[in-house]
Structure 1
Amino acid sequence: MRNRILIVSILLFVFHSLYSQDMRIDYNLVYKEDSLSSENVTKKMVLLIQNEGSKFLTEKQYSLDSLRSTGFTGFAMGDPDFYVIKKGQNTASQYYFIFRDTYKLTTQPKFDWKIEKEVAEKYGYKCQKATLNYKGRTWEAWFTQEIPVQEGPYVFKGLPGLIVYMKDTRGSYEFAFSGLKKTFHKMELENINPKPLEVSYNNLKKILIDYYNDPFREMKSGNIKAKFKDEKGNEIQPDFREMTKNLQSSLKKHNNPIELSDAIKYP
């Protein structure tokens, strides 16, 4: 009997050690920027789980943040979409990169998960289904207790295992597990430059609408020097009115956020 207990204890210790350490989870994200279009956007996403919390971001942005953590000061392009840092039990900070500034919105999202009886094997793991209504969308999720971390893509977490798949019933967003790595480049979670400005949702909404109304204000005032050239490389005077019109059209067209109930209603 003692030997049996010892074996079980060893197995539990190994299992806990395997998944209590830091890890990187990869997801494929497929989503619609325009809810009226059938066109999808695909991005590779990364979820970093570290002792102090987690960080969800595009793979391209992860590469840039990794460079910054090594002291890189040169120019490199990232992709800051869907940037979220989670700390503690229920705190999530979402980051918005608007022109030269970065804004940080910290909330305590509440997830009223409903765990279903349905089970299935996905990505080589035994999974169980769960459903959620959150900010205007109904979600179907699959989680596995074989990876016992209460984490998932974007702001989502709180199930008794890793969320390996999520899809909203409108067919606008889909997160699919694509791999787990125990060895990866670790970094400070918030190594963002410039330093984010903390805002409330109402402040953020005003900032986004102000940007929509006059997106090239800094350039027009001369606070930011920028040169515009034609196809032949000749310097030209920019048509800010036309540029503003095109950008406003794009912002309206791509107004299908995950938090559907928080969608900005542009003028």
Structure 2
Amino acid sequence: MQKLGMVLLCFFLTIYVKSQKAVNLDVVNSQYIYLLTSQRDSLDVENRGEEYFVLQIGKEKSQFMSLNSYKRDSITAALIANKSSVSNLNLGNIPKTDFAFRIIKDRGRNKIDFYDKIIRADFSYEETPAFKWMITDEKKKIGDLKCQAAQLDYAGRHYKAWFTNDIPVSDGPYKFYGLPGLIVEMEDSKNHYKFELLSYKNLADEKPLWISEGKLNGKKVSKADFYRALKNSQDNIIQEISKSGFSLNPNAESLVREKLKKRNNPIELIP
């Protein structure tokens, strides 16, 4: 299993490194770390994964992404700057992530740009979600923050969020924003996805809010077309790997298919 993981990691990194030139979109003023607890397999209640995410808020835009994905970007950007190759990498030092997407929010224009890679190709789609929040009278303290509850239906899930006016930033984890303060905690009604704010800080020295050139210039499609392409790639993953010059034995192929089969519970339930 470990050898298979290294083969797949090398396969994806070979594609990934080619498109990592940085493009600056804004400057980061503040940064927020969230923990996502998720149940990726709807049939396996006991198996829950955890991953850390970072929300970077700039003057006009914000970016939400996996912390490991952000670290991976930084490593590969440095790799390009030093004109090294994937073969020189110590794969054991490459952070692993189950969530490689980037979400750029332009709250002033009520616009979200979603970036992700499907096998060898970068894709993006634009969304104007117009979240219809229902703010309730329910209140509680989370740590030192005074919070208030709000509810939302989005992408096949019903969510309860806790936001705080103590941090007057209309933003939050994943695509979510539009409340009078920062979202501190958010969970869907089936307890499959839960975001919790762990830490936050204002930055004394501004740093770039950047995204890779490959992601920025990827193929722009509709949201529906993106999810159709994603499903098609998952249904034909073995063929896609073979096209790139990597070969898997029958046992490894079975393990890959079994792993994908257990990822049947995405955060967005697209019909």
Larger displacement relative to structure 2 (28-37 or 249-258): 249-258
Structure 1 residue 117 corresponds to structure 2 residue 126? no
1:114 partner letter? M
Q: Deviations over 1:194-222 (max 9, x none)?
A: 5422111232233223313322335534x
| TM score, norm. by length of structure 2 | 0.75
CA distance in 2 between counterparts of 1:208 and 1:125 reads 39
Structure 1 residue 85 corresponds to structure 2 residue 104? yes
Which residue of 49, 64, 68 maps to 1:60?
68
Residues 17-28 of structure 1: matches in 2 within 5 Å?
A: 22-28=29-35
CA distance in 1 between counterparts of 2:82 and 2:202 reads 24
1:10 is aligned to none
CA distance in 2 between counterparts of 1:175 and 1:216 reads 33
1:96 is aligned to 116
2:225 is aligned to 203
The Cα shift of 1:143 comes to 0.6
Q: Deviations over 1:30-71 (max 9, x none)?
A: 000011112100001100001131111111112233456664
Report the CA distance shift for 1:122/1:52 in structure 2 as closer, same or farther (over 3 A).
same
CA distance in 1 between counterparts of 2:135 and 2:148 reads 8
2:191 partner letter? G
2:180 is aligned to 160
Q: Deviations over 1:152-203 (max 9, x none)?
A: 0000000000000001110101100100122377334322535422111232
2:245 is aligned to 225
2:40 is aligned to 33
- Give RMSD over aligned pairs: 2.5
Assess if the C-alpha contact under 8 Å between 1:32 and 1:256 holds in 2. yes
The Cα shift of 1:242 comes to 5.4
CA distance in 1 between counterparts of 2:147 and 2:58 reads 23
Report the CA distance shift for 1:110/1:252 in structure 2 as closer, same or farther (over 3 A).
farther
More helix by share: 2
More strand by share: 2
CA distance in 2 between counterparts of 1:206 and 1:246 reads 23
The Cα shift of 1:106 comes to 1.4
1:12 is aligned to none
Assess if the C-alpha contact under 8 Å between 2:29 and 2:206 holds in 1. no
CA distance in 1 between counterparts of 2:185 and 2:82 reads 34
Assess if the C-alpha contact under 8 Å between 1:54 and 1:189 holds in 2. no
CA distance in 2 between counterparts of 1:83 and 1:51 reads 18
Report the CA distance shift for 1:219/1:251 in structure 2 as closer, same or farther (over 3 A).
closer
| TM score, norm. by length of structure 1 | 0.76
1:125 partner letter? L
2:262 partner letter? K
Residues 235-250 of structure 1: matches in 2 within 5 Å?
A: 238-239=248-249, 243-250=252-259
CA distance in 2 between counterparts of 1:132 and 1:25 reads 22
The Cα shift of 1:245 comes to 4.5
Larger displacement relative to structure 2 (57-66 or 243-252): 243-252
Choose between structure 1 and 2 for higher RCO, CA contacts under 8 A separated by at least 6 residues: 2
Percent identity over paired residues: 31
2:207 is aligned to 186
Assess if the C-alpha contact under 8 Å between 1:69 and 1:188 holds in 2. no
Larger Rg: 1
- Alignment: residue pair count: 229
What SS does the aligned partner of 1:210 have?
helix
Assess if the C-alpha contact under 8 Å between 1:30 and 1:175 holds in 2. yes
